[in-house]
Amino acid sequence: MPGIKRIVIAGNGLAANMTALALQQQLPPDITLTLVSSAKHAELDCLYGSISAPHLYPFHLTLGVSEPDLLFNTNSTFCWGNYFDRWAMTPCSWLQGFHLPFPAMRGVGLHHFVTRHGETELATYLINAQADKTGKFAHPPEDNRHPLSRAEYGYQFDASALSALYASKLSSKVTVINASISEVATDTGDISITSLQLDNGQRIEADLYIDCSGPDAKVYSTLEQNNQASKSQVENARTLFAIHSTLQRGETLPTHRHIRAREFGWQADTYLRDSIQRLTVCSPEQKSQAIDAHGAQASIAMAFSAGHRQQAWTGNCVAIGQAASVIEPLTPAPLMMLMRDIQRLLELIPVTNTMLAEATEYNRRFIADIEHTGLFQGALFAFEHRQDSLPEHAYWQQAAQSVQSEKLTRKLTQYNHRGMLVSYDLEPFNEQDWLMLHSGMQRRPQTYDIVADQVPRAEMANQLNGMGNVIQQVVSQMPPHAIYLEKLMAYLSQKRSQ
Amino acid sequence: MKDTMPNIIKHITIVGGGSAGWMTAAALSRMLPTGDVKITLVESEQIGTIGVGEATIPDMINFNKLLGISESEFIKATNGTFKLGIEFNDWGKLGDSYFHPFGGHGVDMNGVDFHQYWLHTLTAGNTCELEDYSICAVAAKQNKFVLPEQNPNSVLSHLRYAYHFDATAYAAYLRKYAEQRGVKRIEGKIASVQQHTDTGNIAGLTLEDGTTVGGELFFDCSGFRSLLLGDTLGVKFRDWSHWLPCNTAQTVATEQTSKVLPFTRSTAKAAGWQWRIPTQQRVGNGHIYCDRFIDHDQARQVLLDGLDSKPISEVRTIQFKTGCQEAFWEKNCIGIGLSAGFLEPLESTSLFLIQQGISRFISLYPDAGLHPVIRNEYNRLMSREFEQVRDFIILHYKATTRDDSPFWRYVRDMDIPDSLTHKMTLFQQGGRVFRDDHELFTRSSWVAVMVGQGIFPNTFDPILANIPVADIQRSLNSMKQAMEQAVARLPDHAMFIDKYTAMQPNPTFSMGRQ
């Protein structure tokens, strides 16, 4: 088998451990894996957010991490999505949940019928939104006739616990060296990296270098510095300020991460089994107000720069996670992007030493993923359809400026006009995500798909009512999240001890 | 609740019959609320139609479903047969033959594409072709056919199919369908087109006998002439003939042979290629070529030499230019069919592009204001559709080592769109397939053509090096065996058609008013 034989991963924390574990599980044994892990604490890991989309479940299976593994070894809980609470200080509050494709009649999607029915909200017909109102949770059953089978769930997690879980799963296939990189050696012209000099005196050579060392990207950036052609500077960076702390949890265990809008930015509470994690993101100008309003002793308070490199694969080096892009942790986007980085890499493990075809394809998809993630996060600041404008404060005004994009305008215009969903190539957020966002932000299409008229109004009203009723019935029988989790853990421990 | 569509379109006029015109009329008459919208179609019996696209791709099934047409009735009325894919001969090099099946190859395992497993086994001596693991290809080679099974555990659930049929008979069938649903047909040739002086919108048509026909929205289904979109509104044509140089087709029908093949055959010739499309009673043949590389008489001889049965019609010649309009919807006029653009029927996409033009329009159905937002989105989607089909067709010409004629040397060496170069390089190195989720042609289709035409990956996905090749070979053998066993029990294609058309159509999908 031609191609590369030695891979080095540099960095510690979530991205490094997740990448090392993924490569360990998927690559053939004749490729050697080395993880150079510096002692520096990966405090920026809180910027991966604390909520995952449903994709984490199947991704975990490929890593050899089962759901019981996750529940026993971390303080993770379930969630139906993010709850946006009076977002942008407007009356818009909604669950930004996870859902399988919405039901359709005659090939026309639910939202067109909801518009035709003269209703304003999709949430009445979404079981996750209804269950979330009262904090109910149960695993969606496989049987697709059951209304709950349409819902999907993610996790609320603590990035450092998740990172430790991945580290514990690393086997002897990965050689871990605890040292810092003191020098990155390159060939003439800085086309590729030749070796890494470590502070313990070791020198490491590899065919492929993977930089998971965070925004500074110590290894990857060496190839950029003297390489005008790659022009891979961090683009459109926006400076923000983050405050993070751990609080005591009360009795209830909400089934969402709760996001409150503030003048200075936003505050998110993540409900874990043993605690609440609070993250505030604001503009640096207003950090003192934000720290006052944070309401707890901050374990981390720091400025960060949200943006991305123009490309993430140069020569024989790939930047993964925050080394390639830092995404504001407002939605599950940062973790989605990290998983996509790893998947993209796995699909494109080089088979030649020039790696040019792989790098080109990797960068093409990287830029598309960055752009499409940006569309969804940007849409949260688009209030073209409402009277209320965004708060005057710096955070909101800057956010609104950073979302000017032709692709987003097209999406919003087509939706406003007739509920049309414009989609681009392999977007990380699906149609349901977009529909919940539009509905939550009270965006109302002027009209609907004309094919909906093929269903008589009475039949449509009947169907819609029926759906709403069945959902209420099912939700009333679901257990509260905390009780479900407690019973599930008891059951799993019993099964384990057998 | 208040009416959400206060300002509806009241009159739609379609210019031209043929496949495009009658497919449009039939779909609109089915989807628009009866009585609210008047639909008129103007056509002249003196103007011939071009029976392009007698072969289709599986999406055609959805179009008939949308219209509520029973499949058996359709097959009967159009002399239809079933199609499991296309056999390509002499494309990659002289003497080559491969099958581009509908549906996929084998089964993807553990998130890795099937073709990667197959590539892996080749290194250990597997001599089976990729198509030996396609249920459609296996059935096609034995001249068998059956409709797909519903049970997902059956290998026959992976079967995908389309049709071959007589496009003129289909147009006639749809005419009856549309007229029953209130579409008014006007016979006559168009003498002039009137435009609103202020907006430039089309105001109406005057026929040679002096009749005038109005309308708020016009469909241009006038064929290559592009009477409204091109002539009247002056929309410019995007010429793609530097990538797809063929510009002439000569067609002829021949007698049916002893076997009704369940696939289209495409054979590369010195300056183009020749198709063979079997319908129930006859076989359609056509030679598509570039007249810069062969003269018309020679081309005619190539066509006749390539027939496998006796001609039963005159040879017809059609000239065309490959490309599409810069706008498919301009002002109050939408081009459907040849007036919108032309791509040679190498992958049987002509009727598909018509169908997309119609269904995109229906999903964007405007009110009488004809908001530019809608037009803009329609044009974006249709351009993407044409460009993606274009790239896939170019692949067939570019991926060749043929050196036996100036035509093949030209296409082999020509510059191609960057996106296509990138796709080919990526596949060459490690068998990776460029992903694009809106693409009509699936990963399997790209792989079938690239492998079939000799773009052979240097190596397989390194992730598979983990798995012992003997285990993979065992899985592949059992897949192949299951397919062969299933196919052995299938009926012969012609027998299946006889039985199917003798059945009573399903009453819920019957013709006539419901």
Tens digit of pLDDT for each residue in A243-253?
999 999 988 99
Q: Which candidate in B4, B122, B364, B371 is best for mutational testing of the A interface (most A CBs within 10 A)?
A: B4
Q: Looking at the structure, do residues B222 and B280 belong to the same domain, yes or no?
A: no
Mean pLDDT (whole number) for A46-58: 96
CA A367 to chain centre: 16
Say which residue the tokens 């973790």 belong to. A335
B207 to chain A, any CB pair closer than 8 A? The answer is no
Both B139 and B282 in a single domain? no
pLDDT at B190: 96
Number of domains comprising chain B: 3
Asked if B329 and B188 sit in the same domain, the reply is yes
Neighbouring CB atoms inside 10 A of A228's CB total: 7
- End-to-end distance of chain A based on CA atoms, in angstroms? 44
What is the reported pLDDT for B369? 83
How far from the centroid of its chain's Cα atoms is residue A124's Cα? Answer: 26
Q: Is A455 on the interface with B (CB under 8 A)?
A: no
Q: Rounded distance, CA A288 to CA A179, Å?
A: 37
Inter-chain touch B377–A118, beta carbons under 8 Å: no
Q: How far apart are CA A70 and CA A18, in angstroms?
A: 14
Q: Using an 8 Å CB-CB cutoff, list chain A residues near B432.
A: 347-348, 357-358, 361
Q: Do B131 and B27 share a structural domain?
A: no
From chain A residues 174-233, the ones with a CB under 8 A of any chain B CB are none
Quick one: pLDDT at residue B218?
98
* Per-residue pLDDT at B3: 45
Contact A420 B459 (CB under 8 A): no
CA distance B68 to chain A (A): 12
Note the pLDDT of residue A20.
98
A474 to chain B, any CB pair closer than 8 A? The answer is no
Identity of the residue in B367, B438, B462 whose CB atom sits nearest the CB atom of A3:
B462
CB A166 within 8 A of CB A338: no
- Give the CA dihedral A222, A225, A229, A230, nearest 10 degrees: 50
Beta carbons within 8 Å of A476's beta carbon, 6+ residues apart: none
- Do B509 and B68 form a contact (C-beta atoms < 8 A)? yes
CA distances from A221 to A209, A318, B3, B458 (A): 12, 10, 60, 31
Same domain, B139 and B263: no
Query: Coil, strand or helix: which one is A298?
Result: coil
Structure confidence at residue B514 as a pLDDT band (50, 70, 90): very low
Question: Are A357 and B461 a contacting pair at CB < 8 A?
Answer: no
The pLDDT value recorded for residue A497 is 86
In Å, how far are A10, A13, B238 from A41, measured between CA atoms?
14, 8, 58
Mean pLDDT of B197-224: 96
A275 pLDDT tier (thresholds 50, 70, 90): very high
Confidence at B332, pLDDT banded by 50, 70, 90: very high
The CATH number that applies at residue B196 is 3.50.50.60
- Statement to judge: residues B257 and B224 lie in one domain: no
Q: Which CATH class is domain A6-77+158-235+309-374?
A: alpha beta
Indicate the residue of A413, A420, A448 with minimum beta-carbon distance to B4. A448
Residue B5 has pLDDT above 70, yes or no: no
Q: Is the pLDDT of residue B509 over 90?
A: no
A243: left (phi over 0), alpha (psi -120 to 50) or beta: beta
The token duo for A357 is: 């075809």
Does residue B485 belong to any structural domain of this protein? yes
Residue B315 within any structural domain of the chain? yes
> CA of A118 to nearest chain B CA: how many angstroms apart?
6
pLDDT of residue B460: 87
In a domain, B82, yes or no: no
Among A168-172, B48-52, B453-457, the range with the most confident prediction by mean pLDDT is: A168-172
Angle between helix B372-398 and B443-452 (nearest 10): 30
Q: How high is the pLDDT of residue A41? A: 63
Residue A473: burial class (beta carbons within 10 Å; 0-12, 13-18, 19+)? exposed
Q: CB A450 to CB B422 under 8 A?
A: no
Distance CA B446, CA B393 (A): 10
The one-letter code for the residue type at B96 is: D
pLDDT digits (tens, 9 = 90+) for A312-324: 999 999 999 999 9
CA distance B375 to chain A (A): 11
Spatial CA neighbour of A53 closest among A113, A108, A98: A98
Task: Using pLDDT thresholds of 50, 70 and 90, give the confidence band for residue A29.
Answer: confident
Question: Sign of the CA dihedral B311, B313, B316, B322?
Answer: negative
CB pairs under 8 A between A and B: 97
Whether B4 is in a domain gets the answer no
Q: How confident is the model at residue B180 (pLDDT cuts 50, 70, 90)?
A: very high
pLDDT of residue B438: 81
Tell whether B36 lies on the interface with A, counting CB pairs under 8 A. Answer: no
Decide if A139 contacts A485 (C-beta within 8 A).
no
CA distance A416 to A386: 11
Is the confidence at residue A306, as pLDDT, over 70?
Answer: yes
Q: Which two tokens stand for residue B475?
A: 């899985």
| Residue A154 · residue A81 · CB < 8 Å | yes
Q: How far does A461 lie from chain B, in Å, by closest CA?
A: 12
- Cross-chain CB nearest to A1 (options B373, B422, B465): B465
Q: Is the pLDDT of residue B50 over 70?
A: no
- Which residue's entry shows tokens 């991926």? B399
Pairwise CB contact (< 8 Å): B4 & A446:
yes
Supply the mean pLDDT for chain A: 93
Lowest mean per-residue pLDDT among A153-162, A205-214, A453-462: A453-462
Q: Do residues B216 and B336 share a domain? A: yes
CB distance A350 to A395 below 8 Å? no
Asked whether the beta carbons of A459 and A117 are under 8 A apart, the reply is: no
Co-location of B195 and B332 in the same domain: yes
Is B184 among the domain residues? yes
The nearest CA of chain A is from the CA of B111 a distance in Å of: 9
pLDDT in tens, B443-489: 999 999 999 999 989 888 888 887 899 999 999 999 999 999 999 99
Kindly determine whether residue A413 and residue B373, on different chains, have CB atoms separated by under 8 Å: yes
* A29 contacts on B by Cβ (under 8 Å): 466
Residues B279 and B329 in one domain: no
pLDDT above 60 for B121: yes
Domain boundaries, chain A: 6-77+158-235+309-374, 100-154+377-481
pLDDT above 90 for A228 = no
Arithmetic mean of pLDDT, A175-190: 92
SS3 A66: coil
Q: What is the pLDDT of residues A448-475, one digit of tens each?
A: 988 888 889 999 999 999 999 999 999 9
The burial class, CB within 10 Å (0-12 / 13-18 / 19+), for A191 is middle
pLDDT for the residue B33 = 72
Closest CA to B30 of B66, B74, B60, B62: B66
| Lowest mean pLDDT across A386-395, B181-190, B282-291 | A386-395
Contact A82, A427 (CB under 8 A): no
Residue A69, Ramachandran bin (φ over 0: left; ψ between -120 and 50: alpha; else beta): alpha
Q: Is B425 on the interface with A (CB under 8 A)?
A: yes
Going by their DSSP bridges, the two strands A256-262 and A265-271 should be labelled as antiparallel
Q: Tell me whether A447 touches chain B (CB under 8 Å).
A: yes
Question: Does A425 score more than 90 pLDDT?
Answer: no
A361 neighbourhood in chain B, CB within 8 Å: 422, 426, 432, 434
pTM: 0.90
In a domain, B499, yes or no: no
Q: What share of chain B is helix, strand, coil (3-state, %, to 5)?
A: 40, 20, 40
Residues B47 and B176 in one domain: yes
Paired sense of beta strands B282-289 and B272-278, if any: antiparallel
Give the end of a domain, one of B319, B338, B367. Answer: B319
Does A190 have pLDDT greater than 90? no
Judgement on whether residues B180 and B309 belong to the same structural domain of the protein: no
Residue B70 in domain? no
Q: Are B457 and B428 in contact (CB under 8 A)?
A: yes
With beta carbons less than 8 A apart as the criterion, state whether B140 and B162 touch.
Answer: no
B487 close to B132: Cβ distance less than 8 angstroms? no
Closest residue of chain A to B468, computed from CA coordinates: A28
- DSSP-derived pairing of the beta strands A94-99 and A81-85: antiparallel
Residue B456 lies in domain: 103-161+417-493
B122/A contact by beta carbon, under 8 A: no
Q: What is the pLDDT of residue B54?
A: 84
Question: What would the pLDDT profile of B426-452 be if each residue is shown by its tens digit?
Answer: 999 889 987 777 888 999 999 999 999
Edge-first strand listing for the sheet containing A313-314: A174-178, A32-37, A6-10, A208-211, A317-319, A313-314
Contact B1 A426 (CB under 8 A): no
CB of A220 within 8 A of CB of A184?
Answer: no
How many CB atoms are closer than 10 A to CB A148? 18
What's the average model confidence in pLDDT over B282-289?
95
**Would you state the pLDDT for residue A227?**
61
- Nearest Cβ partner for A450 among B31, B459, B463: B31
Q: By CA distance, what is B7's nearest residue in A?
A: A447
Strands B333-335 and B217-220: parallel
In Å, what is the CA distance from A282 to each residue of A182, A261, A264, A301, A327?
34, 10, 5, 11, 14
Question: How many Å lie between the alpha carbon of B110 and the closest alpha carbon of chain A?
Answer: 9
- Domain annotation covers residue B200: yes
The pair of structure tokens assigned to A317 is 């080096």
Instruction: Show Cβ contacts of residue A460 under 8 Å, excluding neighbours closer than 6 positions.
Output: A105, A113, A116, A117, A452
Which of A 35-74 lie inside 8 A of B, CB atoms? Answer: 62
Identify the weakest region by mean pLDDT among A54-63, B14-23, B31-40, B375-384.
Answer: B31-40
Number of Cβ within a 10 Å radius of residue A241: 21
Percent of chain A scored above 70 by pLDDT? 97
B4:A450 CB<8 A:
no
ipTM for this prediction: 0.83
Q: Are B231 and B254 part of one and the same domain?
A: no
Residue A226: per-residue pLDDT: 62
Among A4, A7, A26, A119, most B C-beta atoms within 10 A, so best to mutate, is A26
Instruction: Determine the angle formed by the axes of helices A56-63 and A333-347, rounding to 10 degrees.
Output: 40
Per-residue pLDDT at B52: 47
**Is it the case that residue B47 has pLDDT exceeding 80?**
no
Instruction: Answer whether residue A274 shows pLDDT above 80.
Output: yes
Query: How far is A21 from chain B, CA to nearest CA, in Å?
Result: 14
Q: State the Cα–Cα distance between residues B411 and B268, nearest whole angstrom.
A: 13
Q: Report yes or no: A368 at the B interface, CB cutoff 8 Å.
A: no
CA distance A433 to B130: 38
Residue A229 has pLDDT above 60, yes or no: no
Nearest CA-CA partner of B272 in B169, B377, B378, B406: B406
